[in-house]
Structure formats: C-alpha cells, structure tokens
Chain A
Amino acid sequence: MPRTYTDYLGRKIFLFLFTAQGIAAFALITLGVIVKKLNVASNVVHPMIRREISRAGSRLFPMYMFVAVALGFLAIGQTVTVAARYGAFNYIGTIMVTVIVRELGPLLAAMLALARVGNANVIELGTARALGEVEALESAGIDPIHYLVMPRVIGMTLGVFSLTVYLILAALCSGYLFVFLQNVPLTPGEYFDELAGSLSWLDFALLALKSCTFGFFIGIVSCYHGLAQPVRLEELSRLAVRATSESIIACVFIDAVYFLLYLSL
C-alpha cells in the first residue's frame, strides 16, 4: 500500500480516537453537571429545559406523525400484505417488533431529531462561542455546561424518547390502516394480538434505554462541536456536517451495542 494511503488512514484513525476521547470526556462532564447542578439556578435553567424539551419534542410532533404514517404505509402495510398473501400471519408480530419497535423506529426518530435540532445546536452554540458569549458567561460566573449544554442534552434525551414512542405507535396504527385498505383478511384484534404477543418487558425497557441513549449522544455530540473548542463563524457549516456524521456513527454504534444486548438477554 502506498505511503500516502497509510498516512491518510493513520491521520483519520488518530483524529477519530482524539474526537472519541473528547466526546467521552465531554459526556462525563455533562453527566456530572446534570447530577450536581440539576436544581441550581432552577428559576433560570428549568424553563430552558422545558423549552428544549418542547423544541426537541412536541414541536417536532407533526413531522414525526407524517413520517410515522409514511413508515406505516410503506413498510408495515406492505410487509403485512405480503405476509398475508402467503398466510404467514403468525410472523407478523415478530417482524413488526423486530423491524419497527427494536430497530427502525428508534433509529428513524433519532435521525429526525438530529436533522431538525442537532444541527441547530451546533450552529447556535458555535455562534455563541465565536461571538465570545461563552467567555461572557464565564466572566459572569455562569457555567456554560450548566447553562447551555445541560438543557439541550436533557431536552434532546427526553424529546427523542417520547417521539420514538409516538412514532412507533403511529406507524403501527397507520400500517394497519394500509392493510385494511388492501382488504387483507386480518381483523384489528388479530393484528394487535400478534403485536402484543411478540412484545416482552425487555422490548419496552430496551426501547426506552436505547432512545434515551440516542438522544443523549446526539445532544452531546452536537454541543461538543459547537462549544468545546474555539471556533470561527466561517467554520460552523463544516462543524455541523462533522457533528451530523459523528452523531450517525454514534447512533449506529449504540444500535449495535443494543443488538448484542438483545441477543445476550
């Protein structure tokens, strides 16, 4: 292999490790601040947390419903129709739970939150950093992690979790609507019995944990790139792209870890 390729690869690996270390440290610091200072300056910070939950949660609800209906029609409806054609009703529940509840639902919800709010976080915090607002906070004795990062990370974590639940519920319902329109011989009772029969407590627990982990890391990665290093305004678009790529990698990595967890339990 030519030297230039190995040099390039080496640089990329070092950059990846350096970034991973920085993000891990930033995540630990943020967790520490959440544990220690959740109720500090509550009259200032709690309204900000509520605003971030609204921004990463309820305000995205219409878009999530649109995507959920599309997911239901395109993925669930077609899968059920094909399964019904071969009389494979018994597998519908298992397929739906595996594809929608465990994998596609949480991942899709996380990607949408990343696109709508994660990028905005990078731009907002990067602008604040570039304009000297972070130093202004420090000079006033205000911890930027507490004031700027904590509300965004909590908002993103709770927002992604709740929207994942809504997205899955809406997708499963709209999926049945498609099945109904296709005149597939499957009653609502049979459909939802199949789903309920395939769900276990583990699915609920891991779904909650997984969607919260997705939200937490999207929040951390976007805030890290906006805030952790000195930045100039002209670098913001590059940082937003980088934060998006790294958030996707982080989500896929987390997904793989949870997949292994499903297999082992």
Chain B
Amino acid sequence: MTDKANQETASALPIEMTGVDISAMQDPEFIVFKGINWSVAGGEFWVIGAPQHSGKSDFLMTTAGLIPPAGGRYKFYGNETQIFDESRLADRLRMGFVFENADLFHYLTVAENVALPLRYHKNLTSEEAGKIIDELLELTGLKPIADVSPANLPRSWHKRAGLARALTLQPDILLADNPLGALDARHSFWWLRFLDSLARGHQWLGGKPLTIVATTDDFRPWRGSGRRFGLLKDKSFVPLGSWNDVISSNDPLVKELLAAPIEETVTPANP
C-alpha cells in the first residue's frame, strides 16, 4: 500500500454504512434492517438500543463482517467490505467481538480461550502466550479463574472472558453484543467502568482510545456523558444523539428501553 493510501485509510471512518440492508444469520433471505445509514468516527462510543430478538446480533455481526450486507455499501476504514475473508485478515484483526453469550470454546480453559487468538496469529506456544496474557487476565479480574473451564463458571464470568478474548490482539474497534444483558449490578458496574477506560485509552491498548459499539435492550445502565446513542426500530437505524437526547425522546420504544411509562403499546418485534 502506498503512503497516500495509508494516510487515506488512517483518516477514513472506521465504520460507514450507506443504505445497508442486513439479513438474518439463520435465514439470509430474511431482511432484518433496511437502508441503514450510519457512520462511526474513531474513538466514538456508541450504544445501540433495540428490544430482545429484534436483530441486534445480526446488525452487529454484519458490522463485524461475519454476515455480508444484503444490500447497500459498507466501508470499513474506507475499504468496501462484504465479509472479512482471508484476504482481509488484517482488517478482521482490527475488530474485537464480544458475543452476547460469550461463546467461549467449551474444551479450553479461560486462559486458553483468551490466549487462542494470540497463539494462533503469532504462532506462540502456550508458555509464550501465557506471559503476555497474564496482564490481560489481571486487568479483567480473570486471573483467579484462569484455569477453570467455561462449564464450571457463572455466565457473568463467561462474558468477561469473552471481552478479554476480544481484546487479546489489541483491536482498534470493539463490538459488544448486549454486554450488560443478564449481568448482576456488580458485574454491570465493572463492565461500564472498564469500557469507559477502554474508550478513553487503556494501558493494555497503549493508551489509544478504543472505538466501541455496544448493543443493549435497556438504556438505563448506559446513562452518562461521552456516549452516542442509536435505536434499531421498524427495520431501520435511528440516531438519537447524547444521553440527554435519549431521556428527552418521546419515542415509545426509547421509553420502553428506559423502562419509563409509555402511552401507547409498542408492537412486539418480529421474533
């Protein structure tokens, strides 16, 4: 790549969707969202709200290049993107993904799960990788359970291990699918504080601010400044703005996601 091309890539938006249609993972023929126009600048922290089973995961998986867009143009750092195949491995590794159920590899321990991307891409032995990921396990509070297998762990710790695994390769963007879903207050608090520190620039990432996109079915824990909010509604994406815009919104679905009293009944999302 030439210097000019490198500069263009560096200055391009991490995520830029123009008229993107998103299909369901389980049924590629079914369009979940149509004509999404959305862009994310470097260092932004987005929280996207939608009810359960409304297609948040499909939206995020398309953003992660795991599902090809059914239509429209999706640019990742200025490069047209369909799906991250082998030729786009470098782009794929700029993005960390935390699945809603963490999706840890059930036959590996927590430490092995976290180390796997590093070991695979840098061809390290478990001892070599262990020295590197020890710090990450410490930072995420996973050190005491490093040798435990996922089957013996509560779900809250699965998610945290999923987060550590997504951060192993020090990505530029973090996509987190409903990270606070089904967490207790203590874990939710830890997550919010940790994500904020990543967005500001964490020591693990060399102080570089991380671009974060998280989905949620409950806006309330995300209150506060420094985050941008969006809504997936009626098969489209609606940017909401800051937290103040969210709490002043009259949209019934926003009120529902804030657990505020609503005057009209919201139509249930298509399962």
Question: Given contacts A43-B125, A44-B123, A141-B93, are A131 and B117 in contact (CB under 8 A)?
Answer: no
Report the separation of the CA atoms of residues A138 and B66 in the bound assembly, to the nearest whole angstrom.
7
Q: Tell whether, in the assembled complex, residue B117 and residue A41 are in contact, meaning their CB atoms are under 8 Å apart.
A: no
Q: Tell whether, in the assembled complex, residue B165 and residue A141 are in contact, meaning their CB atoms are under 8 Å apart.
A: no
**Interface core residue of B95, B120, B124, B169 (most chain A CB under 10 Å):** B120
B119: chain A residues at CB < 8 Å are 41, 43-44
Q: Is A190 an interface residue when CB atoms closer than 8 A count as contact? A: no
Report the separation of the CA atoms of residues A139 and B25 in the bound assembly, to the nearest whole angstrom.
14
Q: Is A143 an interface residue when CB atoms closer than 8 A count as contact? A: yes
B169: chain A residues at CB < 8 Å are 140
Q: Tell whether, in the assembled complex, residue A135 and residue B26 are in contact, meaning their CB atoms are under 8 Å apart.
A: no
Q: Tell whether, in the assembled complex, residue B89 and residue A140 are in contact, meaning their CB atoms are under 8 Å apart.
A: no
Q: Tell whether, in the assembled complex, residue A135 and residue B89 are in contact, meaning their CB atoms are under 8 Å apart.
A: no
Question: Given contacts A43-B119, A44-B120, A132-B99, are A141 and B89 in contact (CB under 8 A)?
Answer: yes
Question: Given contacts A132-B103, A133-B103, A135-B61, are A41 and B66 in contact (CB under 8 A)?
Answer: no
Q: Is A241 an interface residue when CB atoms closer than 8 A count as contact? A: no
Q: Is B101 an interface residue when CB atoms closer than 8 A count as contact? A: yes
Q: State which of B101, B106, B117 has its C-beta within 8 Å of the C-beta of A140.
A: B117
Q: Tell whether, in the assembled complex, residue A135 and residue B99 are in contact, meaning their CB atoms are under 8 Å apart.
A: yes
Interface positions of B from 74 to 127, Cβ below 8 Å from A: 84, 86, 89, 92-93, 95, 97, 99, 101, 103-107, 116-117, 119-121, 123-125
Q: Tell whether, in the assembled complex, residue A131 and residue B116 are in contact, meaning their CB atoms are under 8 Å apart.
A: no
Report the separation of the CA atoms of residues A124 and B66 in the bound assembly, to the nearest whole angstrom.
22
Q: Is A187 an interface residue when CB atoms closer than 8 A count as contact? A: no
Question: Given contacts A43-B119, A43-B125, are A139 and B106 in contact (CB under 8 A)?
Answer: no
Interface positions of A from 97 to 156, Cβ below 8 Å from B: 124, 127-128, 131-133, 135-143, 147
Interface positions of A from 27 to 50, Cβ below 8 Å from B: 40-44
Chain A residue nearest to B165 (CB atoms) is A140
Q: Is B15 an interface residue when CB atoms closer than 8 A count as contact? A: no
Chain A residue nearest to B88 (CB atoms) is A141
Question: Given contacts A135-B61, A230-B26, are A141 and B103 in contact (CB under 8 A)?
Answer: no
Q: Tell whether, in the assembled complex, residue A147 and residue B103 are in contact, meaning their CB atoms are under 8 Å apart.
A: no
A140: chain B residues at CB < 8 Å are 97, 116-117, 120, 165, 169
Mark interface residues in B141-155 (1 if CB within 8 Å of A CB, else 0).
000000000000000
Report the separation of the CA atoms of residues A135 and B105 in the bound assembly, to the nearest whole angstrom.
11
A42: chain B residues at CB < 8 Å are 123
Query: How many whole Å from B53's CB to the nearest CB in chain A?
Result: 16
Q: Tell whether, in the assembled complex, residue A141 and residue B105 are in contact, meaning their CB atoms are under 8 Å apart.
A: no
Query: How many whole Å from A7's CB to the nearest CB in chain B?
Result: 25
Report the separation of the CA atoms of residues A164 and B92 in the bound assembly, to the nearest whole angstrom.
43
Q: Tell whether, in the assembled complex, residue B99 and residue A43 are in contact, meaning their CB atoms are under 8 Å apart.
A: no
Question: Given contacts A131-B103, A136-B103, A136-B105, are A43 and B123 in contact (CB under 8 A)?
Answer: yes
Report the separation of the CA atoms of residues A244 and B75 in the bound assembly, to the nearest whole angstrom.
44
Q: Tell whether, in the assembled complex, residue A141 and residue B66 are in contact, meaning their CB atoms are under 8 Å apart.
A: no
**Interface core residue of A124, A136, A142, A143 (most chain B CB under 10 Å):** A136
Q: Is B47 an interface residue when CB atoms closer than 8 A count as contact? A: no
Query: How many whole Å from A175's CB to the nearest CB in chain B?
Result: 41
Interface positions of A from 140 to 179, Cβ below 8 Å from B: 140-143, 147
Query: How many whole Å from B171's CB to the nearest CB in chain A?
Result: 10
Chain B residue nearest to A132 (CB atoms) is B103
A143: chain B residues at CB < 8 Å are 86
Q: Is B64 an interface residue when CB atoms closer than 8 A count as contact? A: yes
A139: chain B residues at CB < 8 Å are 64, 66, 92, 95, 97, 99, 166
Q: Tell whether, in the assembled complex, residue B99 and residue A136 are in contact, meaning their CB atoms are under 8 Å apart.
A: yes
Q: Tell whether, in the assembled complex, residue B117 and residue A133 are in contact, meaning their CB atoms are under 8 Å apart.
A: no
Query: How many whole Å from B187's CB to the nearest CB in chain A?
Result: 20
Closest 6 CB pairs of A and B: A132-B103, A139-B97, A136-B103, A140-B117, A141-B92, A41-B120
Q: What residues make up the interface of B, taking CB atoms closer than 8 Å to A?
A: 25-26, 61, 64, 66, 84, 86, 89, 92-93, 95, 97, 99, 101, 103-107, 116-117, 119-121, 123-125, 128, 165-166, 169
Given A133-B103, A135-B103, A139-B66, 10 extra CB contacts under 8 A: A41-B119, A132-B99, A132-B101, A133-B104, A136-B97, A140-B117, A140-B120, A140-B169, A141-B92, A141-B117
21 contacts between A and B (CB under 8 A): A41-B121, A43-B123, A43-B128, A44-B119, A44-B120, A44-B123, A127-B106, A131-B103, A131-B106, A132-B103, A135-B61, A135-B103, A136-B105, A138-B66, A139-B64, A139-B95, A141-B84, A141-B93, A142-B120, A143-B86, A147-B120
